Structure 1
Amino acid sequence: MRLVSDSTWTELLLLVMAFVLSTVIGIERQVHQKAAGMRTHTLVGTGAALFTLVSGFGFNTVLGTDVNLDPSRIAAQVVSGVGFLGAGVIFMRRDVVRGLTTAATIWMTAAIGMACGAGMPVLAAAATVLHLIAVGAFGRLARCLPSPDRNRLVVVRYLDGSGVLRSILSTATVMGFEASILGTDVRREDGRPQVRAEMRFRGRPPLQDLVLALGELDGVTAVRRRADDD
């Protein structure tokens, strides 16, 4: 058995290119402080490339008249496996879904790694550039487009007399929202006075991010969105 074949250097070059392109995507995710960062994306892309290289070049020694090679079988399994990995970064809390973009990025990174492993580095590099455009420029464009969030109210319940309102307004300001209070009333629930405030938040960021952040503040007992005509 030969340790170094005629295609070994080509395989190493493709593997290194998958490593580099995956790292580029991982750095972008790391800069934006996502759950899956540079290490995760680098490993996913490099691993996908390695599986594809093994599928394409690893079984040449056993080929013969009675043995046929189907490189697409391992590639198909990689796609399925990455789907389970991506699903692991998606979670839902207070009716807000988080992690969809990160899951899609992991899936894209695996595809880029597979393209490198299949001997299509130009396609992999182009896909990396398109990914950066999608998560960068498209993200800013989406914040400028009209959104139904601007026509929604947020109902916040919080403990009275604990300075929670100040924390709510501060959090909204930090996240780029302008808050206006439409009305409040105080009710006793579980033996403690709670304030029910109807508020409108105007701003470019997705409103669901603010809803999730408000729900994690100390003293806030409930947060929900509703349309103006509810």
Structure 2
Amino acid sequence: MNIVIPQASQFVSLALTMVLCGCIGLEREYHGKNAGIRTNILVGLGSWLFSLSSVLGYEAVRASGMNWDGSRIAAQIVSGIGFIGAGVIFYNKSRVRGLTTAAGIWVSAAIGMGAAFNLQILVLLVTFCYFLTVLLVAPLAYRALRRFHVSVLQIAYENGKGSLRNALLQLSAAGFDAQVMSSRQIERNSWSGAVVGVKVNGSISPETMDAIMQIDGIRGISIDDEAET
């Protein structure tokens, strides 16, 4: 049995895979996403080893005259990684969440493959483009386009805690010009309050929605999809 001794370049590509995929996972984990450092590193390592195995397998069987199509292994990574990515995508009340995290896992797999094939410059460039997209391009595009959307938030709050005022202040801090459009009283077994419709010119980010939900006395918040254009 022939034992393949790893070369120095393979150690370098392995370390590069761990560092770059770890950086992508760190960014996702910093933003509170489920697929963080461990997931992205493991995806990168698996892709690296599968890709390298496809190359080494060809070298191992070439002398024996056997047929070997090393591209089949690498090709299955591209389609197979989608099963992991699909596990972090959630659909809730017309909102799809987790697409960026799933795409990040896909990029980590590509980085592992590229590093295994000694495309170090390209994987560094792709990692740079990833961070350029998620940290600069996407926020700028969001700020530029949100002014063309009109959304109506339905905010349920408990009386006597200043919740509505704090929610409006939170929207103002996020850069929205909020306007109360409607209000109706509600009574529950343990509390009483109201539901107000708040019109904002812009698309509300999940982070802003989560921040409002953390306000004391806020009982629920949703977006009126029919009012969103």
Relative to the length of structure 2, the TM-score reads 0.81
User: Could you tell me how far 1:149 is from its partner in structure 2?
Assistant: 6.2
1:109 aligned residue: 108
Q: Describe the shift of the 1:156–1:169 C-alpha distance in structure 2 as closer, same or farther (beyond 3 A).
A: same
Q: Structure 2: which 5+ runs fail to align?
A: none
Residue identity opposite 1:78 in structure 2: I
2: CA distance between counterparts of 1:221 and 1:27?
Answer: 31
> For each residue in 1:39-90, what CA deviation from the matched residue of structure 2 results, as whole angstroms up to 9, or x when unmatched?
2212211221111111111453333454122111111221222111111111
| Conserved 8 A contact 1:149-1:207 | no
2: CA distance between counterparts of 1:126 and 1:191?
Answer: 56
Q: Describe the shift of the 1:148–1:72 C-alpha distance in structure 2 as closer, same or farther (beyond 3 A).
A: farther
Q: Does 1:140 align with 2:144?
A: no
1:3 aligned residue: 3
The worse-fitting range, judged by mean Cα deviation, of 181-190 and 114-123 is: 181-190
Q: Structure 1: which 5+ runs fail to align?
A: none
Aligned-residue Cα RMSD (Å) equals: 3.1
Tell me, what secondary structure is at the counterpart of 2:145? Answer: coil
User: Could you tell me how far 1:12 is from its partner in structure 2?
Assistant: 2.2
Residue identity opposite 2:41 in structure 1: T
1: CA distance between counterparts of 2:81 and 2:136?
Answer: 26
Residue identity opposite 1:207 in structure 2: I
Percent of aligned positions that are identical: 33
Relative to the length of structure 1, the TM-score reads 0.80
Please show how residues 7-26 of structure 1 align to structure 2 within 5 Å: 8-26=7-25
Residue identity opposite 2:222 in structure 1: V
